[in-house]
Structure 1
């Protein structure tokens, strides 16, 4: 967000400690701690409220997880006439099961003289 690395952060903290001074530094540190706790509580309450309100929608979020989609299966299903059964990760194909392959293209590729 602010694009500050570790070294710059340390320099900023040292400068802030020198400018604020040792008398006021504990009070400011306590205020910062209270602010961080309030922010953490606010985020927790917002997350809890969001979970409660979206629970009534009846959406199966596990089924919509994009990490479950296998691009190989999606492409295979798009190229074949009938979709293949979903394969489990790491499972070997059944013995004697033939994997249908698309027919090879014969002849030169089509030429489009209108293409750029």
Structure 2
């Protein structure tokens, strides 16, 4: 959500004006109870998973499973490198791509043979 200190400060000032000084401590206490209950639920879920999974729970690298770490390019690259035939195919594709590219794509040499990709036709 991108909450920074400045944004939280603005939200706090708005809350003071909307709620007033009389009701603000009450709502702050309710918010603190809500945060504690959410933390207890998360800890309970973690304990339950540890009980059900057994010793494998501690061996799992949870940071690796974080969806914020998702990078499609890295996943595809890792999947291609797991295949033993992939490095040879990748090297062939890279060589073909380099042959098809000219050093300066805007300059056309009329005497040079036409370049085309036989797989693209």
TM-score, with length taken from structure 2: 0.47
The structure that is helix-richer by fraction is: 2
TM score, norm. by length of structure 1: 0.49
Q: Which has the higher contact order (CA 8 A, sep 6+)?
A: 1
